[in-house]
Amino acid sequence: AQVLEVRAVRAEQISQGVGLSYSVSLKMVRVKAFELRSKTSKELLKELDEMKAELAQLRVAKVSGGAASKLAKIKVVRKSIARILTVYNQKQKAEARKQYKGKKYQPLDLRP
């Protein structure tokens, strides 16, 4: 009877999330480009710094023999960094196009 009672209490604790020792990485949800486009340049650069720091930590974990899940995250973080840089560069180029619109001369890379 005591064992059943302990199991019932433990089942209730598990359902409430008490006493579980696992880490959930909310940052590792894949970054979507359309979400990045709504952010400002400063926010993009801040997120870029965070991703680069996370990549550095993952590389350290790789060298020190980290878990397989961390090794798999390296690819996701690298691709996220590439997405952030792509959106940032698109924003910069659009801003430059706006600045040179209607001018007599345009830089070669801004010409259609």
pLDDT in tens, 2-37: 555 656 655 666 666 555 443 334 455 788 999 999
Check residue 84 and give its pLDDT. 96
d(CA 112, CA 108): 9
Highest-confidence range of 43-52, 68-77, 103-112, by mean pLDDT?
43-52
List C-alpha distances in Å: 76 to 4, 32, 41, 80: 44, 12, 22, 6
* Total residues belonging to the chain: 112
Q: How many whole angstroms separate alpha carbon 17 and alpha carbon 11? A: 10
One-letter amino acid for residue 26 of the chain: L
State pTM to two decimals: 0.70
Q: Is the pLDDT of residue 90 over 90?
A: yes
Residues 6+ apart with CB under 8 A from 85: 48
Rounded percentage of the chain residues whose pLDDT exceeds 90: 57
Model pLDDT, residue 111: 84
Find where tokens 């209490």 sit. 9
Mean pLDDT over each residue of the chain, to the nearest integer: 82
